[in-house]
């Protein structure tokens, strides 16, 4: 019998299909209209399935365990904040990228339409929205510290691993939802904290296998000293935002830009002599101090960096730590050390950044809270590791699958699954009584390594056949020896 399968290109055509003569009634032809277009997640967001989460969680758990190893404690803040907390903290551009939540229920009636008539979008939005999604973890953290200042024990070593949302135009590698991993120490000005953060970088990169990672360090006061020494008559912020372009546009184009800004050729030459990048060491810091002509700001930066070098014993570290005098990041936010890390040849830019700031909470009324922090970008680390083939994509699942032939063997296997689970091994029985080939096919697709098969002969001899899906071997094992056998073979115990 022939069937007709009707497909269509869009919703409009789908609607029209309802009016075509009924094939089944008129021509006795069964026909099926394709279901509606598949539902999908919003652009700029992602679904994570088991295979991807295994890798993402490996990164997250590694970073979390390092943070905890250094005595950091977790906090969590809500997904949305009052707009009064968020707006004005990320610049005009950032305000535009805030996801605003519509007032719910009756509140939406209080909409002020006159704002639309006047084309005043901001006033209009304010009239219908009082809350926005978290844009980063720093502002909510600052709000948290001020709100809970009575409970917080300073110096506060907090970490926070949560999602943030930005209404950026979605694109390759640019998401509207992504995860940030922040660690900050606030309420202490000691360079011990900076040293700890450097050691965190070392531990995270080592544990993730990112052996080529480079940590670049700079100090805000070097940038201020440059402006002084080169007699630049403009703001440090303008200087650093121009300097920040070095990586993108190169030395020649940057020189042009500085010339346009009125910097003399001589000063530019001086600048390029000074802003070198070299492995950080006490010796190099001495050279830098000289290059800066012992400018007091530069001396202060060198003094602080020397402490970091000594505490963290940077010269003997398993991590390539460089002093990069052109590193600016974050413009006027940082006031002391500045960090940025990259993995060369990974095709991805910076995977983490941070630095010291002198006034985290001032905007919320609590002055003089100095701190230093770093933030790891999980999505970028994921991409780096994928590009460098650092994930074991074929790692078999830790779950053991039990197969059966009939009701009797299902009951038999169900008991064995319970025993294995009670010993800490993940295990479950294929629920439906299907052909063994189908059950093995399922094991294959789920990437299961150990499959246990039991039929009449195994039940009689109180055993199971352990099939290793990697080697293909089949071994009959007595129930009494089963868990120790599986553990010997590499089954994971939790």
Q: Which of residues 364-423 bind a second copy (CB under 8 A)?
A: 364-366, 398-401, 410-411, 414, 418, 421
Please report whether residue 171 would count as binding a second copy according to CB under 8 A. Answer: no
Which range binds a second copy by CB under 8 A, 163-171, 261-269, 288-296, 380-388? Answer: 163-171
**Angle, to 10 degrees, between the axis of helix 296-311 and the axis of helix 220-229?**
150
CB of 97 to a second copy, least distance (A): 7
CB atoms near residue 387 (< 10 Å): 13
For residues 375 and 352, the answer to whether their CB atoms sit within 8 Å is yes
Which of 8, 90, 391, 428 touches a second copy (CB under 8 A)? 428
> Residue 412: in which H helix or E strand, if any?
helix 407-422
CB of 390 to a second copy, least distance (A): 21
Nearest CA-CA partner of 427 in 405, 396, 454, 401: 401
**What element of type H or E holds 291?**
helix 282-291
* Positions 197 through 216 that interact with a second copy (CB under 8 A): 199, 203
- Quote the least distance from Cβ 345 to a second copy, whole Å: 29
Question: Among 2, 26, 104, 273, which residue sits at the site for a second copy (rule: CB under 8 A)?
Answer: 104
Among 6, 91, 190, 211, binds a second copy (CB under 8 A): 190
Residues 71 and 74: their CA atoms lie apart, in Å, by: 10
Comparison of 171 and 344: residue with beta carbon closer to a second copy: 171
**For residues 436-475, which are near a second copy according to CB under 8 A?**
442, 445-446
DSSP label of 89: S
Distances (CA, A) of 264 to 226, 230, 260, 293, 487: 14, 9, 10, 19, 72
Cβ closer to a second copy: 199 or 323? 199
Q: What is the DSSP letter of 110?
A: G
Q: Where are the alpha helices (DSSP H) in 218-295?
A: 220-229, 236-243, 246-260, 265-274, 282-291
The residue within the footprint of a second copy, chosen from 60, 63, 127, 131 (CB under 8 A), is 131
Phi-psi region of 173 (alpha: psi -120 to 50; beta: other; left: phi over 0): left
Q: What are the two backbone dihedrals, phi and then psi, of residue 151, each rounded to the nearest 5 degrees?
A: -95, -30
Indicate the residue among 27 and 48 with the shorter CB distance to a second copy. 48
Piece in contact with a second copy (CB under 8 A), picked from 82-90, 221-229, 290-298, 474-482: 82-90
Judged by CB under 8 A, the residue of 77, 87, 212, 375 near a second copy is 77
Residue 67 or 222 having the CB closest to a second copy: 67
Contact 409, 459 (CB under 8 A): yes
487 touching a second copy, by CB under 8 A: no
Residue 121 sits in the site that holds a second copy (CB under 8 A): yes
Site size for a second copy (CB under 8 A): 106
């Amino acid at each position: 019998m022939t069937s007709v399968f009707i497909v269509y290109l869009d919703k409009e055509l789908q609607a029209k299909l309802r009016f075509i003569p009924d094939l089944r009634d008129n021509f006795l032809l069964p026909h099926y209209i394709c279901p509606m277009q598949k539902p999908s997640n919003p652009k700029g967001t992602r679904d994570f399935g088991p295979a991807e989460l295994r890798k993402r969680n490996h990164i997250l758990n590694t970073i979390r365990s390092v943070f905890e190893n250094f005595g950091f404690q977790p906090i969590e803040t809500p997904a949305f904040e009052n707009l009064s907390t968020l707006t004005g903290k990320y610049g005009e551009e950032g305000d535009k990228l805030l996801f605003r939540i519509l007032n719910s229920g009756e509140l939406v009636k209080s909409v002020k339409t006159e704002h639309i008539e006047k084309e005043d979008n901001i006033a209009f939005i304010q009239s219908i929205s009082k809350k926005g999604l978290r844009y980063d973890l720093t502002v909510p953290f600052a709000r948290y510290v001020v709100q809970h200042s009575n409970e917080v024990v300073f110096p506060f070593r907090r970490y926070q691993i949560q999602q943030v949302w930005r209404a950026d135009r979605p694109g390759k590698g640019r998401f509207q939802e992504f995860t940030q991993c922040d660690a900050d120490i606030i309420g202490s000005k000691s360079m011990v904290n900076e040293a700890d953060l450097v050691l965190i970088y070392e531990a995270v990169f080592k544990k993730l296998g990112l052996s080529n990672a480079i940590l670049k360090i700079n100090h805000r006061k070097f940038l201020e000293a440059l402006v002084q020494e080169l007699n630049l008559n403009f703001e440090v912020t303008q200087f650093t935002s121009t300097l920040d372009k070095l990586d993108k546009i190169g030395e020649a184009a940057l020189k042009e830009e500085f010339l346009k800004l009125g910097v003399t050729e001589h000063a530019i030459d001086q600048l390029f002599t000074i802003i070198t990048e070299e492995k950080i060491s006490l010796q190099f810091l001495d050279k830098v101090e000289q290059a800066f002509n012992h400018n007091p700001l530069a001396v202060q930066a060198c003094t602080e960096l020397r402490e970091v070098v000594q505490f963290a014993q940077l010269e003997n570290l398993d991590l390539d730590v460089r002093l990069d005098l052109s590193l600016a990041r974050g413009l006027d936010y940082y006031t002391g050390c500045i960090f940025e890390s990259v993995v060369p040849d990974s095709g991805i830019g910076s995977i983490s950044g941070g630095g010291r700031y002198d006034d985290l909470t001032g905007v919320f009324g609590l002055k003089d809270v100095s701190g230093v922090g770093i933030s790891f970008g999980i999505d970028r680390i994921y991409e780096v590791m994928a590009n460098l083939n650092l994930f074991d994509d074929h790692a078999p699942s830790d779950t053991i699958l039990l197969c059966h032939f009939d009701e009797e063997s299902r009951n038999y296997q169900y008991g064995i699954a319970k025993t294995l689970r009670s010993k800490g091994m993940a295990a479950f029985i294929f629920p439906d009584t299907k052909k063994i080939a189908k059950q093995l096919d399922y094991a294959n697709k789920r990437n299961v390594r150990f499959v246990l098969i039991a039929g009449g002969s195994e039940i009689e001899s109180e055993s199971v056949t352990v099939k290793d899906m990697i080697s293909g071997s089949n071994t009959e094992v007595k129930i009494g020896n089963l868990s120790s056998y599986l553990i010997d073979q590499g089954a994971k115990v939790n």
